[in-house]
Amino acid sequence: MTDTALAGASADQAASKRPARPSRPAAKPHGQWKVDGTTPLNANETWKQEDNGLNVRERIESVYSKNGFDSIDGTDLHGRFRWWGLYTQRKPGIDGGKTATLEPHELEDKYFMLRVRIDGGALTTEQLRVIGEISVDFARDSADLTDRQNVQLHWIRVEDVPEIWRRLEAVGLSTTEACGDVPRVILGSPVAGIAKDEIIDPTPLIHELSERFIGDPELANLPRKYKTAITGHPSQDVVHEINDFALVGVVHPELGAGYDLWVGGGLSTNPRLAERLGVFVSADVAAEVWLGVTSIFRDYGYRRMRTKARLKFLMNDWGPAKFREVLEDEYLGFKLPDGPAAPKPSTPGDHVGIHEQKDGKFFIGVTPTVGRVSGSILVKLADTLEAHGSRRLRTTPHQKLVVLDVEKDQVEPLVAELDTLGLSARPSLFRRGTIACTGIEFCKLAIVETKATAATAIAELETRLADLVESKQLPQALSLHINGCPNSCARIQTADIGLKGMMLPTPDGDPTPGFQVHLGGGLANNDRAEAGLGRTVRGLKVTAEDLPDYVERVVRKFVAVGAEGQTFAEWAHSADEGDLQ
């Protein structure tokens, strides 16, 4: 035996005497149905398989509404009720410091938030009046316009839910899958079918998706919530970059008008912008493409950990090329043509103001204060619109309303009457650009108050910064988004100034409501070609009380030192940290 062989033999003998190196544990399954099987890997997945969330309606109607709140099964209450737009709301008087320490049953009241689903934001005045009357009769006159084109009511008793459903469904509305691990409300362009510069009208597609798939048990158990946005307007007015599935109107040089497909967007605590698949989607296959992407999420989405269950996590691992391949080969059975990207928007996507429709009539975009209205206002609005010849309106993804079909001679009289209802067609820069989530007033997840904080900030800034507005030193768009917790329902990472609610320490040791500041975010709009997330600066936090002071200070700094033609967002990303304090 050679020396080399002897050395090798000695090494083998030595190795045989050493304990075997433990093998690496196999990677935990993600809970992907097509990969790991359908065995539930957590409690949520278990109860979703045991009884589809849609089935709880029968129990609400026949048992819970008759026997009251205390008769509700816990899993139904905290799980399946969401499939019908119902969440328990926060018990009054519990401060934000206790949000993370109390159990759900300790935080919740015996009343519900009810979300009315409005696909595409399309409403008739009859439907609007019914929502308003429900609010007056059953919801203590509460009503909020959300940035998902829904209307949210509060103080709902389970005893009243069947009658509320009866009234809504009598006029073609519902709460079906307004919440839950399901296809949520379909965002649609508020000017679909009426805008002079529209590329393609998404109304037929939104109707088809709603009628075919909403309430379908086969799509009612997704890994997490699933958000859709569709627009055919060049302003890209449905915040498509932060939705799971989005179609944006484009013109293909050879195939004509259709859509550009985006997949995998979402914010919350792990923000990620959607990505283009690079395909052109014609109107005749758009519904099948939606079904394909939704089915991929159902079959391949990560179900083991709910914090990693949104479609954005799958897209992050797969990338657009693989996602397109799976979509075409496994779900569609045909290839989609390559397609162009939509150009930068040339007009604002909130549609505020007075605009001529393609038929010669006018639409009017109006702004409440951070979406807060009331049932009484909604009823008066329906009456006012009908008195001026309009019977259609739209909610928007920016907590606003768009009134349709107004004759030219009725525009100014209607604008004046809308203003008396707190709905301004010519709002201040700050009122126009501010949105706020529900906040601690009703939400069990919230840490701070938002709606009143936002309203106070708007009023203060309108006075304090009036000189900059009058001298036209401020940009035409400045967004201020206020959120009561880290979950970003108010899209804090995509605002010029985004505020994430938190409790801040004070010199005397008692925590006070405040915010972490995000600066320079935004979605594609007439001021920026591409979406981008806001910048955070370590230690940059502001108390709720000092919020107007901070916004005034940072805006004045921008005006003083920003370069000519530079947007606030551009400046915020390039500024020295000291200028942002």
Distances (CA, A) of 249 to 200, 203, 295, 349, 363: 6, 12, 23, 14, 21
CATH of domain 353-427: 3.90.480.10
User: pLDDT band at residue 24, thresholds of 50, 70 and 90?
Assistant: low
pLDDT of 12 higher than 50:
no
pLDDT at 27: 80
pLDDT of 6 higher than 90:
no
| Cα gap 214→87, rounded to integer Å | 19
| Cα gap 241→267, rounded to integer Å | 10
Q: Could you tell me which residue, 15 or 289, shows the higher pLDDT? A: 289
Residue 143 near residue 421, CB atoms below 8 Å: no
Q: What tens digit of pLDDT does each residue of 211-237 get?
A: 999 999 999 999 999 999 999 999 999
Q: Is 203 exposed, middle or buried (0-12, 13-18, 19+ CB in 10 A)?
A: middle
pLDDT of 1 higher than 90:
no
Residue 375 near residue 132, CB atoms below 8 Å: yes
Q: What tens digit of pLDDT does each residue of 80-126 get?
A: 999 999 999 999 999 999 999 998 889 999 999 999 999 999 999 99
| Cα gap 549→572, rounded to integer Å | 17
The DSSP element (H or E) to which 404 belongs, if any, is strand 401-406
Q: Is 269 exposed, middle or buried (0-12, 13-18, 19+ CB in 10 A)?
A: exposed
Amino acid at 184: R
Residue range 432-579 in CATH 3.30.980.20: no
Spatial neighbors of 345 by CB under 8 A, at least 6 apart, are 234, 235, 236, 524, 525, 526
CATH topology of domain 192-347: Sulfite Reductase Hemoprotein; domain 1 (3.30.413)
Pairing of strands 183-188, 480-483: unpaired
Domains 192-347 and 432-579 in one fold = yes
Backbone Cα Rg of the chain: 26
pLDDT at 21: 52
User: pLDDT band at residue 19, thresholds of 50, 70 and 90?
Assistant: very low
Q: What tens digit of pLDDT does each residue of 393-441 get?
A: 999 999 999 999 999 999 999 999 999 999 999 999 999 999 999 999 9
96: left (phi over 0), alpha (psi -120 to 50) or beta: alpha
| Cα gap 332→321, rounded to integer Å | 15
Domain ranges of the chain: 192-347, 353-427, 432-579
pLDDT of 7 higher than 90:
no
pLDDT at 9: 39
Instruction: Report CA torsion sign: 443, 447, 449, 450.
Output: negative
pLDDT at 14: 38
| Cα gap 295→300, rounded to integer Å | 8
- CA angle 109/379/202 to nearest 5° reads 90
Q: What tens digit of pLDDT does each residue of 525-555 get?
A: 999 999 999 999 989 999 999 999 999 999 9
Distances (CA, A) of 267 to 246, 263, 532: 15, 13, 12
pLDDT at 18: 45
pTM assigned to the model: 0.94
Q: Is 36 exposed, middle or buried (0-12, 13-18, 19+ CB in 10 A)?
A: middle
Quick one: angle between helices 203-213 and 286-300, nearest 10?
A: 40
pLDDT of 52 higher than 80:
yes
Q: What tens digit of pLDDT does each residue of 436-493 get?
A: 999 999 999 999 999 999 999 999 999 999 999 999 999 778 999 999 999 999 999 9
From the CB of residue 541, how many other CB atoms can be counted at a distance below 10 Å?
17
pLDDT of 310 higher than 50:
yes
- The runs of H, that is alpha helices, within 421-516 are 429-433, 451-464, 466-470
